[in-house]
Chain A
Amino acid sequence: MTMSLLRAENLTKTYRVGDIDVPAIKGVDFAIEPASFVAFVGPSGSGKSTLLNMIGCLDHPTSGTLRVLDVDIATLDRRAAARFRGEHIGFVFQDFNLIPVLTVFENIEYPLRMVQKWPTEKRRAQVLRLLDAVGMADQANKRPDQISGGQKQRVAVARALVSQPKLVLADEPTANLDHDTAYRILELMKKMRDDFETTFVFSTHDPKIMGAAEVTFTLEDGRLQDGGHHV
């Protein structure tokens, strides 16, 4: 039996809005194995982003346990959570979220430069490797405003992978892309999973995209509708 990369047991998250408790995740259990390609699917407001935020150590559960790489994320304070994310988790955002003052090369380099502080030569070699892997080597010196949306998301994928994390989280990574580009990005993510053996977990509400996942968890109103559907 392989050890799970992610394991959630009776996980809940409740937000307090004024005097009212609003449950976002209601007692969820799941496990995700290493090097898998997983999608959390469901309509808007079903709790996908809340779940991804907790997996990404950006938020704490209200109750239950969530272990990421065998670490109970509820035990991490702000600083430790930042360090954990920097070392083990990559992020791909819906709006790409590239830093506008940095070039494509520098955006990919950022986690190695400002978070992990790799030596310059090693850093450069790793960034070039990722640029090549995502097919952006010829755009390395351009700024984000000089490339297309699909290219931006390729850069974002490269940035998420550059520090060799065990897990990459992508919240609606294709929402701002046309279908063709969206498929290409998902193919790229899958290839990266194959090349780097990194687990990809993404959320989507687009039925056409969810078919790309190898395992899908369907969320509805904060509850999992199945135990993980293997495609």
Chain B
Amino acid sequence: MFDVLDIASRNLLRYRRRSLLTLLLIVIGMVAVLLFVAVAGSFKSMMVGQITDSVLGHLQVHRKGYVASIDNLPLNLNMKPGMVARVEEGLKQSPAVENWSPRVKFGGMFSNFAETTSIRVNGIDPAREAATTPLLPGRMLDGDKAGPLVGKGQIVIPMLLARGMKTRVGDTVVVVATNRDGSVNGKTFVVRGILESVTGPGGRDGYIHIDDARELLRMTEAEVSEIAVRLKDFSRLDQVDAQLKQSLGSLANKEGKPVIEVHTWADLSPFANLARMIDLMTLFIKIVLVSIVLVSVMNVMIMAVFERIREIGTIAAIGTSPSRILLLFLSEGLMLGIVGTVAGIVLSLAAIFGINLWQPTFNFGMQQNLVMAPTIAAGDVLTIAALVVLVAVIASLQPAWKASRMDPITALRHV
């Protein structure tokens, strides 16, 4: 095999300019794909991370039917304590679950005594919420960042609301809400902090202590609107989702109907469509890369066979087997693929390293100055490299086959 590779490499060097141009195309294609995968992938991971780690959690558990009406934050679809206990028991038994946080969600009116506006509020257990959505405290733009996110009698409000209502940290405000029975209740809070907004559902919600929420809504028992769940390993999301759907989905009411529904962050956030679009674009750019490699390698190999017909006739006449001739030309394609891939990987990794040193920033929705930090998984690099090498060999197959099947007499007569 070394002999074949040796001769193949010399034949590639024989037409230096053409081989270099082909390599250049492969390298440009590789760099484009790897950079896109790295930048788009890191953007996607960052955005998914922002959404899951500061708002939604990786998974959410609701009472059956809640998500269908989630825009109304229906209080009559809250989970009762018995149901919550059964869900928590199920979550405890799953080794993939790291933490979970019960929430009471409701819509209300926010007043600074001069003006009133609507607000969506999350009643949370601050410690459990911070363990489930660890980036939430980091969104605090104004206010004391140390200590629990919110204490009893305190409220954290979204930035847009604070600006619109000219409300500052330390101000006293009133939140008025209608409970499940239709009666209205109000409670005063001190503004504990102002939160940066994030894209997606819940990204502009206010936060109060869960006990205050239950008091405001005059709950007689510890109801919960949703339970946000954090997994130990986000990459196992789909697997754990399926497991929880099976285990929690078996919880049934007296009529035997399921009472619990489990959703991933992707089911709850429209950003999932953007993430899918990024995946689709990645697929398309991979198809473009495959096309570039296929056309350029096939073109160079067809030319190589055409220009070496007499040579093929000579080596066939002196006894080189058809399979050996096939291997000679396949090796040329293989080497083009390997060299182009290696050069493409080196340049791409250097570019990714350079971008990470440069740290360019961008804005996404309400979020400003997000630092682009592209990374690429070894698995992605290996997959794309294998794809390019494979396509280079496939592209050489037809010209190599043609060379191996060439009639020596006809080939020797070729002018």
Partner-B contacts on A (CB < 8 A):
53, 56, 58-59, 78-79, 82-87, 89-91, 93, 95, 97, 99-102, 110-111, 113-116, 159-160
> What is the CA–CA distance of A218 and B314 in the complex, to the nearest angstrom?
27
B299 to chain A, nearest CB (A): 21
> What is the CA–CA distance of A90 and B321 in the complex, to the nearest angstrom?
15
B319 touches A111 (CB 8 A): yes
| A97: chain B residues within 8 A (beta carbon) | 310-311, 313-314, 412
B409 touches A159 (CB 8 A): no
Chain B residue nearest in CB terms to A85: B319
| A114: chain B residues within 8 A (beta carbon) | 3-4, 7, 315, 320, 324
Given the known inter-chain contacts A53-B409, A97-B314, A110-B315, please indicate yes or no for A102 contacting B320, CB distance below 8 A.
no
A82 touches B322 (CB 8 A): yes
Given the known inter-chain contacts A101-B11, A102-B7, please indicate yes or no for A83 contacting B318, CB distance below 8 A.
no
The one of A53, A100, A101, A110 that contacts B318, using a Cβ cutoff of 8 Å:
A110
Any A CB within 8 A of the CB of B10: yes
B3 touches A85 (CB 8 A): no
| New A-B pairs, 15, CB < 8 Å, besides A82-B321, A84-B319 | A58-B317, A58-B408, A58-B409, A82-B319, A83-B321, A85-B319, A91-B314, A91-B318, A93-B314, A97-B310, A97-B311, A114-B320, A114-B324, A159-B318, A160-B318
| B322: chain A residues within 8 A (beta carbon) | 78-79, 82
A104 to chain B, nearest CB (A): 15
> What is the CA–CA distance of A83 and B322 in the complex, to the nearest angstrom?
10
Any A CB within 8 A of the CB of B166: no
A47 to chain B, nearest CB (A): 14
| A53: chain B residues within 8 A (beta carbon) | 409
8 A-B Cβ contacts within 8 A?
Answer: A84-B319, A86-B319, A91-B317, A93-B412, A99-B311, A110-B318, A114-B4, A116-B319
A100 touches B14 (CB 8 A): yes
Any A CB within 8 A of the CB of B121: no
The one of A91, A102, A110, A115 that contacts B10, using a Cβ cutoff of 8 Å:
A102
| A115: chain B residues within 8 A (beta carbon) | 318-321, 324
| A83: chain B residues within 8 A (beta carbon) | 319, 321
- Residue from A84, A95, A97 having most chain B Cβ neighbours under 10 A: A97
B79 to chain A, nearest CB (A): 75
Any A CB within 8 A of the CB of B248: no
| A95: chain B residues within 8 A (beta carbon) | 310
A156 to chain B, nearest CB (A): 10
> What is the CA–CA distance of A31 and B182 in the complex, to the nearest angstrom?
117
